[in-house]
Structure 1
Amino acid sequence: MAVTASGLEKTVVARDNPLTILSGLDLQIKSGESVAIVGTSGSGKSTLLGILAGLDLPTAGSVSLAGKRIDHLDEDERAKVRGEHTGFVFQSFQLLSNLTALENVMLPLELAGVDNPGERAKNLLTRVGLEHRLEHYPRQLSGGEQQRVAIARAFAGEPDILFADEPTGNLDEKTGESIIELLFEVNQGSGTTIVLVTHDMDLARRCQRVLKLHGGRLEEIS
């Protein structure tokens, strides 16, 4: 399994009152599968994604990523697992503003010690249609172009699992549709497992499974 969660609980304290976000949640995602998690605003979708990706810890329960249990690891150990197995695409793009498009994609490759990171980064940016934007900074790019850079960066390390949090959320409808097409097109050749959170049902329906988060638990709707 690419992702496994068992008995997942998440409780936070808001204004001195405990708030249960996840309650006894179980989930299994096979390698190579694409899964969308939908739900109302505030239902805990992004919280769940963060826990599955090892960015946050559950209050109780277990989480395994690429066959490795991560809920008992410290941040440095979780970061190592994330670096080896995952890629991320966020609604806010999260590009480094002082780096060019090329440098943003090169950075994870350099950190991983990949040979010829510049060449691989150029190939990825060409693949997402940005070969003419290599030396542009994020502020010089449209929202759609920034998300294309983010997708190239996410696939740079050839991740086993791609996590995406509202990847079309900051984009207009037409641009969002092109990003959806690009995300699955780039993924086709890699066989990467995709786990995404979205309010966009067109995007959700592109996935093999659609799960709805409600009352702290998941139910399969397609």
Structure 2
Amino acid sequence: METTSPVVVSASSLNKTVAARSGALTILSGLNLEIKSGQSVAIVGASGSGKSTLLGILAGLDLPTEGSVALAGTRIDQLDEDERARVRGQHTGFVFQSFQLLPNLTALENVMLPLELAGHKQASMRAENLLSRVGLEQRMDHYPRQLSGGEQQRVAIARAFAGDPDILFADEPTGNLDENTGEKIIDLLFEVNREKGTTLILVTHDTLLAQRCDRVLRLHSGKLEEDL
């Protein structure tokens, strides 16, 4: 008997408006979305179309103006920041375009930090294994300023997978990288994603990256259209 994967991220009647000089600016309008466990989903669209805003709302980093958002079975739009952080910590990892590594921590310490905050008893060993997994076994004691853009992004990916997240969000994971390094990062994302069975939701301008996903959702005029 065929089983149906559960929905792990959903949005209903989602709206997001922000203040602008000319008045309220609508970024997302009446948006509905369901993503099932294990899917890889690319969100594409023109610059300024609200892709990163949508990703942040789905991940619980931001709140919608109206509508509901559920993450891993929990409605998060009605939670305060501490409660949303708890849900994120239990279920999600996040790869930012700007890497967001702490400059005064080594690569190893950057990956260890979320593990230590979660009370992981073997944080150092797990962080070392993850950094080796992304090919940085010789760079663990280096600080972000001593690493190339591609190396920093690999540290960010190792950190994002540190807590074995159910859902990985990635905002332009290849946006600051050259083509060759970007392709390696794409391969790495999907390889680790496949091994862990993680749901992958990413924002990208990278056509190659989008084509490798199970679904491509195009954001246009605040609404999503699926490429079939």
TM-score (norm 2): 0.96
Aligned residues: 222
Matching of residue 32 in structure 1 with residue 38 in structure 2:
yes
Which residue identity does 2:30 align to in structure 1? G
Q: Which residue of 1 aligns with 2:3?
A: none
- Could you say what secondary structure the match of 1:71 adopts? coil
Matched, 1:13 2:19: yes
Distance 1:130 1:93 in 2: 16
Q: Deviations over 1:155-183 (max 9, x none)?
A: 00000000000000000111101100011
Instruction: Name the counterpart of 1:74.
Output: 80
Equivalent AA in structure 1 for residue 40 of structure 2 = S
**Structure 2 gap ranges (5+):** 1-6
**Structure 1 CA distance, aligned partners of 2:29 and 2:178?**
34
State whether structure 2 residue 151 is matched by structure 1 residue 128: no
Q: Aligned-pair distance for 1:188?
A: 1.1
1: CA distance between counterparts of 2:205 and 2:155?
A: 22
Q: How big is the shift at 1:54? A: 0.4
Alignment of 1:181-196 (within 5 A): 181-196=187-202
AA at the equivalent of 2:127: A
Equivalent-residue separation in structure 1 for 2:116 and 2:212 (angstroms): 33
CA deviation after TM superposition for structure 1 residue 79, in Å: 0.6
**What's the counterpart of residue 104 of structure 1?**
110
Q: Counterparts of 1:16 and 1:52 in 2: how far apart (Å)?
A: 27
In structure 2, which of residues 198, 201, 218 is the aligned counterpart of residue 212 of structure 1?
218
Q: Do residues 116 (structure 1) and 118 (structure 2) align?
A: no
- Residue by residue over 1:101-136, the C-alpha shift from the partner in whole angstroms, topping out at 9 and shown as x without a partner, is 000000000000111100000000000000000100
In structure 2, the residue matched to 1:137 is: 143
Taking structure 1 as the reference length, the TM-score comes to 0.99
| 1:85 counterpart residue number | 91
Residue 177 of structure 1 pairs with residue 183 of structure 2: yes
| Amino acid in structure 2 at the alignment position of 1:180 | I
| TM-align CA RMSD | 0.6
Q: How far off its partner does 1:68 sit?
A: 0.3
Q: Which residue of 1 aligns with 2:173?
A: 167
Moved over 2 A (4+): none
Q: Distance between the aligned counterparts of 2:31 and 2:188, measured in 1? A: 31
Q: How far apart, CA to CA, are the structure 2 residues paired with 1:187 and 1:14?
A: 39
Partner of 1:203: 209
In structure 2, give the amino acid aligned to 1:147.
Q
CA-CA distance at 1:16 after TM superposition: 4.8
Give 3-state SS (helix, strand or coil) of 1:72's partner: coil
SS in 2 for 1:35: strand
Percent identity, aligned pairs only, is: 78
For residues 39-65 of structure 1, the C-alpha deviation after alignment (integer angstroms, 9 at most, x for no partner) is 000000000000000000000000000
Cα displacement (A) at 1:187: 1.1
- Which string of whole-angstrom CA distances, capped at 9 and with x for unpartnered residues, describes residues 72-94 of structure 1? 00111101100110000011000
- The answer as to 2:80 corresponding to 1:46 is no
